[in-house]
């Protein structure tokens, strides 16, 4: 059977115990308790996982984070952030502000125009889906008139609406 996990000596035992007691949330407490139980040396990683009700890979990840970067490494809980953006958020905002000025002047702004400008500014071709996600991310939505046929007779349509019979509701 494997030996219990070994911890790097970042904190003395008294400091480690007070660090455990200072945990603010249940998640922080669980991570710190994992380190404390591993520090005691009596518990293997699978036993720590079972005692705390977490997965075995979580226990090994927390021990590894603690060993590499110390107690402060366990404070971060989520990755977060924009990992797949081609442009920073403020650059996207500036680009859309330019297009908003054009739209306010009466020009029709389309996603294909934005697609071409994005590709030019980024320096590589981007998908049209990226353009639509960018628009959604910044609260833009499609605003346009409903389609009308060029030969439509509006007077005949209005007369039809007045004289047509409504279908009777089905039972």
Say what the pLDDT of residue 38 is.
92
* Segment-wise mean pLDDT, segments of 10 residues, the chain, 171 residues: 82 93 92 93 90 94 93 78 84 93 85 93 93 91 78 91 78 59
Q: How far apart are CA 136 and CA 129, in angstroms?
A: 10
Q: How far apart are CA 124 and CA 122, in angstroms?
A: 6
Would you say 49 and 56 are in contact if contact means Cβ atoms under 8 Å apart? yes
Q: How far apart are CA 5 and CA 148, in angstroms?
A: 72
Say what the pLDDT of residue 81 is.
76
Q: How far apart are CA 114 and CA 142, in angstroms?
A: 13
Q: How far are the Cα atoms of 14, 148, 158, 159, 168 from residue 162, in angstroms, in the given order?
A: 87, 20, 7, 5, 17
Question: CA Rg, the chain, in Å?
Answer: 31
Q: How far are the Cα atoms of 24, 27, 50, 76, 158 from residue 53, in angstroms, in the given order?
A: 19, 12, 5, 20, 69
Taking the CA of residue 16 as centre, how many other CA atoms within 13 Å lie in the half-sphere pointing to its CB? 19
Say what the pLDDT of residue 171 is.
59
Taking the CA of residue 134 as centre, how many other CA atoms within 13 Å lie in the half-sphere pointing to its CB? 27
Say what the pLDDT of residue 103 is.
84
Would you say 36 and 16 are in contact if contact means Cβ atoms under 8 Å apart? yes
Put simply, whether the predicted model's pTM sits higher than 0.85 gets the answer no
Domain ranges of the chain: 13-75, 89-137
Chain-centroid distance of CA 138 in Å reads 14
Q: How far apart are CA 49 and CA 58, in angstroms?
A: 8
């Amino acid at each position: 059977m494997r030996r219990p996990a070994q911890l790097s000596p970042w904190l003395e035992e008294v400091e480690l115990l007070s660090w455990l007691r200072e945990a603010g949330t249940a998640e922080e407490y669980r991570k710190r308790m994992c380190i404390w139980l591993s520090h005691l040396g009596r518990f293997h990683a699978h036993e720590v996982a079972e005692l705390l009700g977490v997965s075995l890979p979580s226990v090994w990840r927390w021990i590894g984070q603690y060993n590499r970067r110390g107690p402060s490494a366990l404070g971060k809980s989520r990755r977060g952030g924009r990992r797949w953006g081609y442009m920073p958020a403020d650059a996207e905002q500036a680009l859309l502000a330019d297009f908003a000025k054009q739209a306010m002047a009466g020009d029709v702004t389309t996603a294909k125009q934005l697609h071409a400008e994005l590709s030019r500014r980024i320096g590589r071709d981007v998908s049209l889906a990226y353009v639509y996600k960018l628009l959604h991310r910044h609260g833009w939505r499609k605003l346009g008139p409903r389609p009308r046929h060029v030969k439509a007779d509006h007077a005949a349509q209005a007369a039809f609406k007045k004289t047509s019979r409504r279908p009777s509701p089905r039972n």
